[in-house]
Structure 1
Amino acid sequence: MPKILITGNGFDLNLNLPTSYSDFIRILSNLKNIEETDYNFNSIYSASLSYELIKKNFSKVEFNQEQINELINLLDQNLWFNFFTSEYNIETWIDFETKIEYVLIKIFEALNNMQDFLFSKGSRPNDLRVIDFKNLNNNIEYYEILKRFKFFEDNNSQIVLNEFMFINKYNYNTNFNYEIISDYLLKDLNKFKKIFNLYFEIFILPLYENLNFNNKLNLESINHHFTFNYTPTFENVYKLKTRTDFLHGKIDSENNFIVLGINEVPESINENIVKYFIPFTKYYQKLNNNTDYYFLSELSNKVKFENYIFYFIGHSLDKSDEDYINEVFDFIIDLKTKGNLIIISYHNESSKSSMLINLIEIRGKDEIVDLMRNKVLKFEKLDSKEFNFSLNLKLDTFVKAPRYL
């Protein structure tokens, strides 16, 4: 009976690792306030809202000074990081991904508005790159996003667009250069990925060797592990031989192949510029970086007259991972045996409610009601006896049975 574990960021947070979006921003933003000679456990992690738990569950670590210097240099120059640090309504990594989509939409919408003014009468001389706020549809969001990403210089209340944005022929601008603009944003996002990788290499990975946390889960019977995290927590903390597939890539600043982007190209985007959005999507990055995008295909090729248990730990079941969630539920429903389970662990009643709402939105009310009524789908509190029992559950192969739905 294969037992499949699927983990999200809550799996790391349960061990008090500072992997939340808040920790990432707060710790990195605080780096510039620390003297180079004072990089130590307290000066680094005290910026975290979970500092007391970090201090309690981890012993002291030493940091790589060279890597920290490299990281600080990247922080100073990165447009995406500077944007995120100025946005106060981002609380989770899901909000972070939503903001990437927001930025892209606002930039390309703004370009569309400016295009009507700039090129409605044909090409313009290269030195006529001045626009008015009304050419941005009087939209303060367009103005602020374009300014933060350095698409223009605000000179004495004049908006002077940067030259790199245009296709230039014979000293005339004929249109916006969407390929260059997309590449400009993408290159800076890739540098942000480097920042992300370095943060985890410098401030998270060394903690594995100094973990004092005693309430680890019993995961010895797990046959396969899929993770949406970038961290090797399962291997380094639990030290099991169970295989892990990293669905969004693994921390590695040298290769920088992690998946960090948007779920889909927004429907509102003009079909003529859709291709410039594609490199920002997760599915493109998975294919391009050759990360683990096969998911359950290997299991699907095996005999279906077996029982399977899927455990979700620390995953929000958000719509941004809809494709994977659908694959798990379709896999279970298509099996020819009964007694299969999907067990979703939750931290508190609020998180349970959010996950249930997400599942109903993705799979529909009727299916979720039917699966819970037939005890195929269960919610169990992470630190409960019920969930501990479920982790150690052993099921024999059941007789062939009709589909649940």
Structure 2
Amino acid sequence: MEKEQLVILGNGFDLALGMKTSYNDFFKWLFTNKKIVTFDKDYSLHESEYPEIIKTNGKNQLVNFWCIYFSMTQKSNGLDWNNVESHIEDVVKTLENCMDYSIIDFLTKNDVVNKSKQTYRQSEFILKLFLRNFIVTKNESIMSILLLQLKQFECFFVEYLNTVFSGNIETHIKYNYTELLKSMGVKPRDGHYDANSTAILNFNYSSLPDFVDSTRNIHGTIANNNIIFGIDSSTIEATSPIYIFTKESRIMHASVVNQGNSQKDILNRYIKTIKFFGHSLAQADYAYFQSIFDYLSIYDNDVTLIFYYGFYFETNKIKLLEYENEIQNLLSVYGKTLDNKDHGKNLMTKMMLENRLQIKLAIGRY
């Protein structure tokens, strides 16, 4: 049986189920349970002050560039996961021209980034601080060091998620996620959940046992220990040295490494409804949405987009307005990619007139 609806889930889905999978929760755990090297946030951007600003946390400290970066720039509080990836993108784009430098060249050159901008100065300063203090081998490239540190950062997150979901997946979580999906129109038939008619694109790292055969965890799963963070590829040439940090590149690499884990095909021409829940609709994932919208030709075909939200938005009208704005931004940006520019401009209007653009509250026992 061909899939009739595509359900797209983001981190808000797990949060609605009461799971502590937010960026803030992760960082609290990280700095509480791991001896991560940190530095004084009130630092000066002068190389002469490198030795004085190290903050020691005892012996056997773990060293990770991305932890240091988020800590020093005070970005470890109040961020969603899409913001994390956007800051990773800022750093690698800032350092794009020196990705092929060896560490020794990077440390000795003074013109690797545009120091007229504070963001650039921070990225260069923190990376130099990290390299001077903690990296012994100076022949590796900046690209390889940053990617290796990102993989370590991902491993920290896998370890954290295992503490969150340990013992819960088969009981509390299994019961609750089915109720939430039912409120979105994913209902059982003959006592069994209708995995045959529903495909799920899951941006979370958790699993949905009732939908194993129809779910694609696009960024990996806790169980397979293959989760990734990545940046949007839409503005990055494949020949760029930072393309290796894009989600597409990292997914491709993961598929080569994990050849035994087949990926589910979730798209077909029979899909008439796309449902969203818990996804921030951040630009980092626009490439996925554009591909789906193109494949289903949402301007011409009878495809309905339904954006669900939970009780948190129901009681926080500002957040609901922000969500509506993100929906408008997504469709506006997508409209600009259409060959017929007039169609792009009136995409939202056409879909609303045809009742193919809807925003709904998901009501369920969760």
- Residues 312 and 181 from structure 1, CA distance in 2 versus in 1: closer, same or farther, beyond 3 angstroms? same
Q: Is the 8 A contact 1:9 1:315 kept in 2?
A: yes
Equivalent residue runs for 1:12-91 within 5 Å:
12-31=14-33, 76-89=62-75, 91=79
Q: Is the 8 A contact 1:286 1:293 kept in 2?
A: no
Measured after TM superposition, the shift of residue 244 of structure 1 is 1.3
The answer to whether the aligner puts 1:287 opposite 2:275 as a matched pair is no
Paired residue for 2:198, among 210, 215, 223?
223
- Supply the AA of the counterpart residue of 2:216: D
Where relative contact order (Cα < 8 A, 6+ residues apart) is larger, the structure is 2
The answer to whether the aligner puts 1:362 opposite 2:334 as a matched pair is yes
Distance (Å, rounded) in 2 between the aligned partners of 1:341 and 1:358: 15
Quote the residue 2:360 is aligned against.
380
Distance (Å, rounded) in 2 between the aligned partners of 1:164 and 1:250: 33
- Residues 99 and 295 from structure 1, CA distance in 2 versus in 1: closer, same or farther, beyond 3 angstroms? farther
CA RMSD of aligned residues (A): 4.1
Distance (Å, rounded) in 1 between the aligned partners of 2:152 and 2:345: 42
Q: Is the 8 A contact 1:151 1:165 kept in 2?
A: no
- Supply the AA of the counterpart residue of 1:250: T
- Residues 202 and 307 from structure 1, CA distance in 2 versus in 1: closer, same or farther, beyond 3 angstroms? closer
Percent sequence identity over aligned pairs: 23
Paired residue for 2:169, among 198, 205, 208?
208
Measured after TM superposition, the shift of residue 294 of structure 1 is 7.3
- Supply the AA of the counterpart residue of 2:6: I
- Residues 280 and 292 from structure 1, CA distance in 2 versus in 1: closer, same or farther, beyond 3 angstroms? farther
371-380 or 343-352: which moved more? 343-352
Quote the residue 1:102 is aligned against.
90
Measured after TM superposition, the shift of residue 286 of structure 1 is 1.2
Paired residue for 2:10, among 3, 8, 11?
8
- Supply the AA of the counterpart residue of 2:350: D
Quote the residue 2:158 is aligned against.
197
Distance (Å, rounded) in 2 between the aligned partners of 1:246 and 1:4: 13
Distance (Å, rounded) in 2 between the aligned partners of 1:366 and 1:357: 13
How many residues were matched structurally? 300
Q: Is the 8 A contact 1:311 1:344 kept in 2?
A: yes
Measured after TM superposition, the shift of residue 361 of structure 1 is 2.4
Distance (Å, rounded) in 2 between the aligned partners of 1:198 and 1:258: 11
- Supply the AA of the counterpart residue of 1:376: R
Q: Is the 8 A contact 1:2 1:223 kept in 2?
A: yes
Quote the residue 2:48 is aligned against.
none
- Residues 154 and 81 from structure 1, CA distance in 2 versus in 1: closer, same or farther, beyond 3 angstroms? closer
Quote the residue 1:64 is aligned against.
none
216-225 or 312-321: which moved more? 216-225
- Supply the AA of the counterpart residue of 1:107: L
Q: Is the 8 A contact 2:233 2:246 kept in 1?
A: yes
Distance (Å, rounded) in 1 between the aligned partners of 2:201 and 2:59: 34
1:197-228, CA deviations, whole angstroms, 9 ceiling, x for partnerless residues? 11111223433355288663413345222211
1:233-271, CA deviations, whole angstroms, 9 ceiling, x for partnerless residues? x32xxx45652111111124xx6422311112755x9x9
Unaligned 5+ segments in structure 1 are 34-71, 116-125, 156-161, 167-176, 301-305, 385-405
- Residues 205 and 2 from structure 1, CA distance in 2 versus in 1: closer, same or farther, beyond 3 angstroms? farther
Paired residue for 1:184, among 137, 145, 155?
145
Quote the residue 1:260 is aligned against.
229
SS at match of 2:350: helix
Q: Is the 8 A contact 1:317 1:359 kept in 2?
A: no
Measured after TM superposition, the shift of residue 190 of structure 1 is 0.9
1:328-351, CA deviations, whole angstroms, 9 ceiling, x for partnerless residues? 32344379974x422111243222
Paired residue for 2:243, among 278, 293, 296?
278
184-193 or 287-296: which moved more? 287-296
- Supply the AA of the counterpart residue of 2:85: E
Distance (Å, rounded) in 2 between the aligned partners of 1:164 and 1:258: 28
Q: Is the 8 A contact 1:74 1:191 kept in 2?
A: no
Measured after TM superposition, the shift of residue 80 of structure 1 is 1.0
Measured after TM superposition, the shift of residue 9 of structure 1 is 1.0
- Residues 314 and 186 from structure 1, CA distance in 2 versus in 1: closer, same or farther, beyond 3 angstroms? same
Measured after TM superposition, the shift of residue 193 of structure 1 is 1.2
SS at match of 1:11: helix
Distance (Å, rounded) in 2 between the aligned partners of 1:111 and 1:328: 32
Q: Is the 8 A contact 1:313 1:346 kept in 2?
A: yes
Q: Normalised by the size of structure 1, how large is the TM-score?
A: 0.61
Paired residue for 2:292, among 308, 322, 328?
328
Q: Normalised by the size of structure 2, how large is the TM-score?
A: 0.67
Paired residue for 2:218, among 238, 241, 247?
247
Distance (Å, rounded) in 1 between the aligned partners of 2:118 and 2:230: 25
Distance (Å, rounded) in 2 between the aligned partners of 1:332 and 1:5: 14
Measured after TM superposition, the shift of residue 96 of structure 1 is 0.6
